[in-house]
A = this chain, B = another copy of it.
Amino acid sequence: MIALDANGADGGPATVAAGARLSGLEVTLFGPASELDGEHVVDAPVKIEGHEEPVRAVRRKPEASIVQAAKAVGEGRADALVSAGSTGPTLAAATVSIKRIVGVHRPALAALIPVPGGPVLLLDAGASVEVRPERLVQFAHMGAAFMESVMGVAQPTVGLLSVGEEPGKGTPEVIEAHAVLSDGPLNFAGNVEGFDLPGAGTRVVVTDGFTGNVALKVMEGSSKTVRGAISEAARSSVVSSLGGLLMRGALGRVRSQFDPERVGGAILVGMRKPVVVAHGSFGPEGIAGALRLARRAVDEDMVGQTATALEAAGALRSAPVGSVEQMTPDSSEAS
């Protein structure tokens, strides 16, 4: 059973419900019952708005759909959480109810980027903004565990995003993480540069949440701008319009190669249960993809594989036995 927050998608609750039906999976929808049908609906009309500060809103609105859905997962009534669009509240609610794997410094938002030959996993895409070498190292292991267990990529190549390929290039934090990863068990490709992100040569690209968020949005913006310029060019004259018409099928295939709906969105790694964040713009197909991604993460025991990989690499934070992990999300986290 997957808990699905029906609020937050640009298309509204009906779009989310259509995605749930399309997936064919067992799903409980949390949202306004008046706009939803089907057997598994928990009436939760309250939503957290985009302008609200996520951590505060989650505390103040225990009846909000995302808070109730996360609670269902935390209490074992559901196996995974899928949100239809808003990263901030999802992250805050998951932090409160689902919690981190013991020994994980910070969860990371791992975004699947649709590129030809990909997808490429970029993490952290904005769960937190602070940079620490030991977090970058954990992100690398968590990202590789996800690609291996859920996406079926054996020994995925892992790169560290920096300003040059040489090990000495980058911030002091990147340089230190590079040294640790070079001696570790991963298929480590060393530093990679911004050029490499859309190239799919490296399957897991590790960076801090600030740089990752900027890089992801620059990619989306650039790809959209170039495609827009090409569409406009196709309308610029009778001859090129005819050309555009003849190329329509081929250009449609290009569009789908870069379509985020194709890959299922982003997954919050480092939590005790899978948490998937779909893109707000997703239609039913994208929502169904996000649900299937969450289902695969459950079935392949992504969480267990992640914990095992972190432990085997000696990358877990040492904590007193029996201590309860508590986390205060950064108030500055990405929305």
Residues in B neighbouring A216, C-beta threshold 8 A: 194
Within 8 A of B (CB), among A202-220: 207, 209-211, 213-220
Residue of A130, A169, A199 with most partner-chain B CB within 10 A: A169
Residues in B neighbouring A161, C-beta threshold 8 A: 214
B220 touches A194 (CB 8 A): yes
Interface residue stretch chosen among A36-44, A243-251, A279-287: A243-251
A334 touches B230 (CB 8 A): no
Identify whether the interface residues of A are mostly helix, strand, loop, or mixed: helix
Q: Are A223 and B220 also in contact (CB < 8 A) when A129-B163, A247-B240 are?
A: no
User: Is A222's CB within 8 Å of the partner chain B?
Assistant: yes
B334 touches A169 (CB 8 A): yes
Q: Report the separation of the CA atoms of residues A175 and B334 in the bound assembly, to the nearest whole angstrom.
A: 13
Residues in B neighbouring A333, C-beta threshold 8 A: 163
A100 to chain B, nearest CB (A): 21
Residues in B neighbouring A334, C-beta threshold 8 A: 163-164, 169
Which one of B126, B226, B244, B332 contacts A223 once the chains associate, using CB atoms below 8 Å? Answer: B226
Within 8 A of B (CB), among A110-140: 115-116, 126, 129-130
User: Is A198's CB within 8 Å of the partner chain B?
Assistant: yes
Which one of B163, B199, B247 contacts A213 once the chains associate, using CB atoms below 8 Å? Answer: B163
Which one of B170, B195, B247 contacts A243 once the chains associate, using CB atoms below 8 Å? Answer: B247
A156 to chain B, nearest CB (A): 19
Interface residue stretch chosen among A180-188, A252-260, A292-300: A252-260
A171 touches B210 (CB 8 A): yes
Residues in B neighbouring A174, C-beta threshold 8 A: 210
User: Is A335's CB within 8 Å of the partner chain B?
Assistant: yes
Q: Are A193 and B211 also in contact (CB < 8 A) when A163-B334, A170-B129, A227-B226 are?
A: no
A218 touches B215 (CB 8 A): yes
Residues in B neighbouring A250, C-beta threshold 8 A: 233-234, 236-237, 240, 243
In the complex, the chain B residue whose C-beta lies closest to that of A248 is B243
User: Is A221's CB within 8 Å of the partner chain B?
Assistant: yes
Which one of B115, B215, B249 contacts A240 once the chains associate, using CB atoms below 8 Å? Answer: B249
User: Is A197's CB within 8 Å of the partner chain B?
Assistant: yes
Residues in B neighbouring A226, C-beta threshold 8 A: 222-223, 226-227, 254, 258
Q: Report the separation of the CA atoms of residues A53 and B167 in the bound assembly, to the nearest whole angstrom.
A: 12
Subset of 5 A-B contacts with CB under 8 Å: A130-B171, A194-B218, A215-B218, A218-B218, A240-B250
| Chain A residues within 8 Å of B, Cβ to Cβ | 53, 115-116, 126, 129-130, 161-164, 166, 168-172, 174-175, 193-199, 207, 209-211, 213-227, 229-230, 233-234, 236-237, 239-240, 242-251, 253-254, 257-258, 331-335
